[in-house]
Amino acid sequence: MRALLKYHLRGIPDKLSCGLAVLLAAGALSPSLYASISGVHVQGSPASPQVLGTTIKLTATAVDTNPGPLTYKWEVESPGSSSFVLMQDFDVAATFQWTPNYTEGTYSLRITARDYLAGVSAQLVVGFKVNPLVTGRQAVAVPTANPLVALLSAPTCPMGSTMQAIFQPSNAAFQSFTDWRACHAGSMNFYIAGMEASQTFLMSYQVNTGGTITTSPQVTFTTGVIPASVKFPAMTVPVPPTGQSDTSDRIVLSGFAAPPYPVTATDLNANVIWYYPPSPIQLTRPVPGGTILTIADGLGTGTGVWGPAISRQQILREIDLAGNTIRETNADRVMEQLTAMGMTDPLGCFNHDAIRLATDLTGSAAGLSGYTIAIGDVQRIFPAGTQGASGPVDIVGTVVIVLDTNLQVVGYWNAFDHDCSGSSGTACPGGLSINRPAVRGEVCTAGVTTPAGCPPVLLSSPANDWLHNNSIQYLPSDGDLLLSMRNQDWVVKLDYNNGVQTGALGTGNILWILGLDGSFTLGNGNGEPYPWFSAQHDAGFATPTGANPEQIFTVFDNGVSRHQEYGGNSRGQVWHINQTSMVATLTTNANLGAYSFSLGSAEMLTNGNFMFMAGNIQAADGLIETQNSEVLPAGTEVYQFQALGPVSYRGARLTDFYNVQANGSSGPE
């Protein structure tokens, strides 16, 4: 790499590093006074310059006179930008795989080496030149590391205009579209995904200038062959699409949870059209614009509650469609920030869900545009008598973490801070009672990840798995949050109010509880002896911005409590929730034909049908089965996809990878 050195800060105490660059440049302070870290160096392979879309392995080294551990943070400033954005927060990994794909020009890479325990850091900024793919007026499409994904590079377009890419099979008229993106200086670049292997596609782009849309000539691209080393489960379509099926939501996305199977997308005929290489990764949500939020295994800073020993679900990572890491943080780094904010309960890991808020929020919500909200687990020792324990007991709770666009913590909600068990009277206003245990007595044991995806046990084993939150949704209509609590059989609404302090007990009050023994009157249970959901997954409003107080609410009802009492299968449920009259009416109660003890998804489709995924069916032959069903509002099944072999934590039906819903929405907004 031909490094264009901008500045090099050596051995700066971490709490001071933000303000010392100017002082050092002016000669006001000698860096030799803080020489605990020195010799920060970065090597890129291959070296600068490289063509756009090339993956460069960046390797950092530094000399630390303290015992460490030494960690590295990677940031980038793109051509035309005036600010750095995070790629990877402090981590013991000294390498980062960087794939520049925004535009051509000189990128600035900022690498910070830090010894957190010693309180010192050092920083280096280098330049890396990236050459364009496109040199004329004709777009160019080239392969990527994923044989089913292309990089389409188009020439620059007028400032103030927008561009989108279009692609279609050469032998079919059906077109797919990316999102519209603002034009900028230099070429425009899109990852194109949603294509079957070994097929030729036609690609072009459109430019919208003041309402006038122009379309470019088409270029051809032929997808590659999926390597034989990538194994997929046996995937079938027992119920093919009918005339009543939603064929516009043509992608079936399955979050197969562990190797040897990758997170996989197929068309409605079970043909593979995208995958993420097999790895210990948990799919959370696709993000508008063609990226995906995931929770992955990996090490953090080595100074958190686990030290360097545990890696399970320590990474919150955003990937692009080619599989490149866009940005990531880790539980250790987040815990540092939570501790600075006053939280003392240890964060064990990220789990179950992370959502991206829309980038076009307005009013009091505008400051949250592009933020990420993730779920983690926290633990605390409670005295004897809590939840009936004969002695001190470790209880697993939930923390909701709000991160800005650089994945830096801006706020949190800790369920333990909203224990209202000491309140007078029978009501428990604004919170949860720590003395209401998990309804089925779920516990977690150290070193064991079952039952139902237990988090790591940090303090004392066994630990009571009190809440087991598994999905979150942001409601733009009022700025509040919905949390699904599997082990309480409840969905609760939190008074987040876009982070503004409200109410006598402050932000984070529980406004209402949906479920058995909750806040709502049951308007119609469809004659069921047990109409309420239990051990549910992926609960949320399909129309979270709607003005109608009677909103459509979808949930995958695993039905564990009902199954234990009555038997029966898991169900796909649609409720009408009236938050004014506080009445919940069950309108769709689809018997899905199988029982899934854990895992699952639910959403409203574009045409008004509903999708429900059962992610953990114990098949008769001892294998595990995943089932993705589409049903009419009356509950009739009109499409079914099955995969035999792996569990699937989360699934979705998508029109494409680009124009998806933000905020954790379960359907069209």
Reported as a single tens digit per residue, the pLDDT across 535-559 is 999 999 997 665 566 699 999 999 9
The sign of the torsion formed by the CA atoms of 436, 438, 440, 446 equals: negative
Domain check: are 464 and 570 in the same one?
A: no
Q: What pLDDT, on a 0 to 100 scale, did the predictor assign at position 665?
A: 79
> Domain check: are 339 and 199 in the same one?
no
Beta strand extents in 144-268 (DSSP E only): 150-154, 162-169, 176-177, 181-182, 188-192, 200-209, 212-215, 219-222, 234-239, 251-256, 263-266
251-to-139, 162, 267, 597 alpha-carbon distances in Å: 26, 26, 5, 25
- Comparing CA positions, the residue from 595, 607, 669 lying closest to residue 638 is 607
Q: Which of 196, 222, 248 is the last residue in one of the domains?
A: 222
Residue 340 included in any domain: yes
> Is 602 within a domain?
yes
Q: Which of 99, 131, 163 finishes a domain?
A: 131
Reported as a single tens digit per residue, the pLDDT across 319-338 is 999 999 999 999 999 999 99
Q: In sequence order, what are the residues at sequence separation of 6 or more whose Cβ sits closer than 8 angstroms to the Cβ of residue 10? A: 31, 32, 34, 35, 37, 38, 40, 122
Dist. CA 484–CA 469, nearest whole Å: 5
- Asked if 651 and 613 count as a contact pair (C-beta separation under 8 A), the reply is yes
Q: How far is CA 87 from CA 95, 99, 109, 115, 128, in A?
A: 12, 11, 10, 19, 15
Query: How does DSSP classify residue 432?
Result: B
pLDDT of amino acid 621: 78
Length of the chain: 669
Specify the number of domains making up the chain: 4
Out of 123-132, 449-458, 524-533, least confident range: 449-458
Domain-embedded: residue 3? no
Q: Residues of the chain with pLDDT > 70: what percent?
A: 90
Q: Is residue 169 part of a domain?
A: yes
Structure tokens at 498: 């876009």
Residue 363 backbone phi and psi in degrees, to 5: 60, -140
179 plus 209 within the same structural domain: yes
Identify the H or E element spanning 10: strand 8-13
Residue 27: Cβ-neighbour burial (10 angstroms; 0-12, 13-18, 19+): exposed
d(CA 445, CA 463): 6
What is this structure's pTM? 0.93
* Domain termination residue (choose one: 501, 519, 537): 519
Look at residues 441, 430, 435 and name the one whose alpha carbon lies nearest to residue 489: 441
Mean pLDDT to the nearest integer, 610-633: 93
Residue 310 maps to a domain: no
Two tokens at 594? 């199988």
Give me the mean pLDDT over the 587-605 stretch: 96
C-alpha 599/C-alpha 180 separation (Å) is 34
Query: What contacts 207, CB < 8 A, 6 or more positions away?
Result: 157, 158, 161, 162, 163, 183, 213, 214, 216
Q: Are residues 203 and 157 in the same domain?
A: yes
Distance (Å, whole) CA 340 – CA 659 = 37
Name the DSSP letter for residue 652.
E
Q: Is the pLDDT assigned to residue 273 strictly greater than 80?
A: yes
pLDDT for 547 equals: 58
Burial of 120 (0-12, 13-18, 19+ CB in 10 A): buried
pLDDT per residue as tens digits for the range 500-509: 755 433 468 8
Residue 249's contacts (CB-CB under 8 Å, 6 or more residues apart) are 605, 606, 607, 611, 653, 654, 655
3 state DSSP class of 220: strand
Question: Tokens 């089913």 identify what position?
Answer: 148
Of the listed ranges 21-35, 296-310, 385-399, 655-669, the one predicted with least confidence: 21-35
Mean pLDDT to the nearest integer, 653-660: 96
Do 510 and 390 lie in a common domain?
A: yes
> Exposed, middle or buried: residue 465 (CB in 10 Å: 0-12, 13-18, 19+)?
buried
Does residue 590 share a domain with residue 512? no
Which range among 3-12, 92-101, 230-239, 491-500 shows the weakest confidence by mean pLDDT?
3-12
**Per-residue confidence (pLDDT) for residue 306, from 0 to 100:** 80
Mean pLDDT, residues 642-647 taken together? 93
Q: Which residues are within 8 A (CB) of 334 and not within 5 positions of it... i.e. 6 or more apart? A: 316, 347, 376, 401, 403, 409
Query: What is the pLDDT at residue 615?
Result: 96
Mean pLDDT is lowest, of 243-247, 430-434, 517-521, for 430-434
Which uninterrupted H or E stretch holds 97? strand 95-98
Q: 560: left (phi > 0), else alpha (psi -120 to 50), else beta?
A: alpha
Q: Answer with the residue of higher pLDDT: 21 or 645.
A: 645
Contact 495, 478 (CB under 8 A): no
How far apart CA 240 and CA 194 sit, in angstroms, is: 20
Peptide bond into 46 cis (omega under 30): yes
| Of 192-201, 473-482, 499-508, the least confident | 499-508
- Domain extent, residue 427, equals 329-519
Report, as an integer, the average pLDDT of 35-56: 93
Eight-state DSSP code of residue 99:
-
Of the candidates 292, 245, 293, 291, the one whose C-alpha atom is nearest the C-alpha of residue 267 is 245
* Phi, psi angles (nearest 5°) of residue 14: -60, -40
Mean pLDDT of 87-98: 97
- Residue 17's pLDDT band (cuts 50, 70, 90): very low
pLDDT at residue 244 in the model:
97
Say what percent of the chain tops pLDDT 90: 79
Three-state DSSP at 584 gives strand
Same domain for 421 and 448, yes or no, is yes
Convert the pLDDT of each residue in 133-191 to its tens digit: 998 889 999 999 999 999 999 999 999 999 999 999 999 888 999 999 999 999 999 99
Angstrom distance (rounded) from CA 455 to CA 220: 47
Give residue 420's pLDDT.
85
Answer yes or no: is pLDDT of 16 > 50: no
- Alpha carbon distance 117, 134 (integer Å): 47
Query: Can you read off the two tokens belonging to residue 523?
Result: 């308007």
Residue 491 to residue 231: CA distance in whole angstroms: 37
Q: Is the pLDDT of residue 44 over 60?
A: yes
Average confidence score pLDDT of the chain: 90
Same structural domain for residues 502 and 567? Answer: no
Give domain status of residue 254, yes or no: no
Based on the fold, state whether residues 102 and 178 are members of the same structural domain.
no
- If one counts every other C-beta atom within 10 angstroms of the C-beta of residue 210, the result is 8
- Classify residue 66: in a domain, yes or no: yes
Taking residues 610-639, report their average pLDDT: 94
In a domain, residue 572? The reply is yes
Q: Which residue type, as a one-letter code, is found at position 473?
A: Q
* Structure token pair of residue 425: 């009277």
* pLDDT of amino acid 546: 58
Q: Are residues 113 and 202 in the same domain?
A: no
DSSP, collapsed to helix, strand or coil, labels residue 4 as coil
Pick the closest to residue 204 from 191, 192, 219 (CA basis). 219
pLDDT at residue 269, rounded to an integer: 98
Tell me how far apart the alpha carbons of residues 107 and 50 are, in angstroms, rounded to a whole number.
11
How far is 521 from 210, CA to CA, in rounded Å? 51
Across the beta sheet with 188-192, the strand order is 140-143, 150-154, 188-192
End-to-end CA distance of the chain: give it in Å, rounded.
Answer: 47
- What's the confidence (pLDDT) of residue 22? 24
- pLDDT the model gives residue 184: 97
Summarize the confidence of residues 402-417 as an average pLDDT.
96
Within this chain, do residues 456 and 570 fall inside the same structural domain, yes or no?
no
Residue 27 has pLDDT above 50, yes or no: no
CATH number at residue 205: 2.60.40.10
The H-assigned helical ranges of 488-604 are 560-566
| Residue 592: closest CA among 575, 624, 573, 570 | 570
Check whether residue 68 and residue 87 sit in a common domain: yes
The per-residue pLDDT for 59 is: 98
pLDDT over 90 (residue 47): yes
